[in-house]
Amino acid sequence: MTRPIVLVTGATGGIGASAVREIESVDGAQVISLSSSDFNLDEPSSIDKFFSERAFSNLEGIVLCAGVNEPRSLVETDHDLWMRTMGINVLGHKRILDHVLPIMVRSGGGRIVAISSLYGRIARKGRWSYSSSKASLEALIRSVAIEYAEWGILANCVAPGFVATSLTTKNNTGTQIAELVRRIPLGRLAAPEEIAKVVRFLISRENTYITGQTIYIDGGISIS
C-alpha cells in the first residue's frame, strides 16, 4: 500500500523540524521536508518547476511553515522588504496551494496547516510587515477552508507566541526575551515540540471537524 505523503515547507527551522519529527509518527505518513534548496518561495516559477517535475498523487497534507521576519520600523520598511515578506510568507504559499489543492480534490480530501504568529493578531514596534503578512496568511487559509470544505479539505492556522528558536534569539536581545517571559502567564518560552504536537493533530486523520481556525499556542500572553 502506498503511504500518504505530507509536505512540510521550512522544514529546517526549529518549528518545521519538530513538525517533521511529530508527523512521521502519524498514520505511517511519508514526510517530505522542503527547504529553500527545493524552490524559492519568492519566485513563482521555481515553485511551478518543482511541482511540474514531481507527482504527488497520494498527497494527504501540507504544513506551510517557511517564513521570514525582518524587524524594521514603519518608515524603514521599504517596498522591497514589504514585497519580499509578503512574497515568502503569503504569496509563495498561495502558489504552492495552487498546485496542492487540485491534487487533494482528486484524491478526496486532505489537511492543510499554516504556521501563523501571535503577531498576526497583536502589534509590536518594528513588526509591521511581518504582522501584515501573517494576518494575510490567516485570511488565505480561512478562504481555503470555505472554498474547499465540500471536497473534504480542512485548513487551519497555528499561531505560536514566543518560541525558543534561533529566530527568536536573532530578533530579540536577552533583555527583550526576559521581558517577554515576564509577560507570559506560564512564565516561559514555548518549546518547538509544543507547537509541533498541535500541528501533528491538525494535519492527521484524527482531525475530522476543525477547519478555518487559528489556534494560539502562546502560554496565555494573548489574553493577559
Positions marked catalytic: 130
Residue 64 corresponds to which cell in the numbers above? 506551510
Residue 178 cell numbers, joined: 526576559
Kindly state the greatest CA–CA separation across the chain.
56
Burial label for 100, CB within 10 Å (0-12, 13-18, 19+), is buried
Number of Cβ within a 10 Å radius of residue 147: 12
Sheet-wide strand order for 153-160: 30-33, 5-8, 59-64, 110-115, 153-160, 214-217
Which whole-number Å values give the CA distances from 17 to 1, 63, 151, in the listed order? 26, 11, 29
Could you tell me which residues come within 8 angstroms of residue 75 by beta carbon, excluding any fewer than 6 positions away? Answer: none
Residue 112: C-alpha distances to residues 1, 30, 61 (Å): 23, 15, 6
